[in-house]
Amino acid sequence: MGMKKFRPITPGTRFKQALDFKEITKATPEKSLVIAIKKSGGRNNTGKMTMRYIGGGHKRQYRIIDFKRDKVNVPATVKSIEYDPNRSARIALLFYADGEKRYILAPDKLKVGQVVISGEGSEPQVGNALPLKNIPLGSIIHNIELDPGRGGAIARSAGTYAQLSAKDGKYAVVRMPSGETRLILASCMATIGAISNMDHMNVVSGKAGRSRWLGRRPRTRPVAMNPVDHPMGGGEGRASGGHPRSRNGIPAKGYKTRAPKKLSNRLIIRRAKSK
């Protein structure tokens, strides 16, 4: 996995940096594991635009990902590492010993032909899924459940990972990708390793058109709007703006929006450092 730089033969390639896709071993997805995606263009069922700046983009098919890793004690062979247009991480196609096929999030350093397995008795090796209570302290993990059996919800995007810091009774102490430290039930599943495609953060699109290919339309700056459209709109000349806030008036840049009586607050040991 690495980056490609381009000769500046056009304005769009002058600063462009793209992935080389060398880790991809198969170009087409497994037919039995894809379903159609219908684009909404940001409209609801009555045709009214409810989400701005969405529309266009290349046609996609959704790959059904196994976030639960609930096929216990059945070994699976990694058949291919594939591109997924719906997420930043790479995905791996598994062929289980009983004939079933599933996609999982591909960890970094996972190779084709490697055997992975999930369950309490599994070895803590890259790609294996275990309950937190069976994972050694200090391990790098991803695709972590917050509720047993619900499926992984934490550390699923490219290059992300969490770290198992300690175990305290029925809870495990996990340092999240944000820097927050919190308690998670030790019976929750997690997968060993960090997520693949570490260089995703270094991609430079080079031109606005690449955002359109991803289905992202141009975004209008709030200070360029009228007062009827946004709290930061209006003003004579360039004397507009005011305190940064969202369209419905919620302040930005440091304003805390987390509910003070949220039940999960008691599970948070140390909050993420503010930027």
- Domain positions in the chain are 3-201, 226-265
Q: Answer yes or no: is pLDDT of 250 > 70.
A: yes
Q: Is 171 helix (H, G, I), strand (E, B) or coil?
A: strand
What are the φ/ψ torsions at residue 106 (nearest 5 degrees)? -80, 120
Band (pLDDT 50/70/90 cuts) for residue 9 is very high
- Arithmetic mean of pLDDT, 183-204: 96
- Arithmetic mean of pLDDT, 178-204: 96
Residues 217/57, Cβ–Cβ less than 8 Å: no
Q: Answer yes or no: is pLDDT of 74 > 80.
A: yes
Q: Answer yes or no: is pLDDT of 97 > 80.
A: yes
Residues 270/183, Cβ–Cβ less than 8 Å: no
Band (pLDDT 50/70/90 cuts) for residue 1 is low
What's the pTM value of the predicted model, to 2 decimals? 0.91
Percent residues over pLDDT 70 in the chain:
99
Q: Answer yes or no: is pLDDT of 20 > 90.
A: yes
Q: Is 266 helix (H, G, I), strand (E, B) or coil?
A: helix
- Arithmetic mean of pLDDT, 232-240: 86
- Arithmetic mean of pLDDT, 3-20: 95
Identify the CATH homologous superfamily for domain 3-201.
Nucleic acid-binding proteins (2.40.50.140)
What rounded mean pLDDT belongs to the chain? 95
Q: Is the alpha carbon torsion for 189, 115, 91, 111 positive or negative?
A: positive
Amino acid identity, residue 172?
A
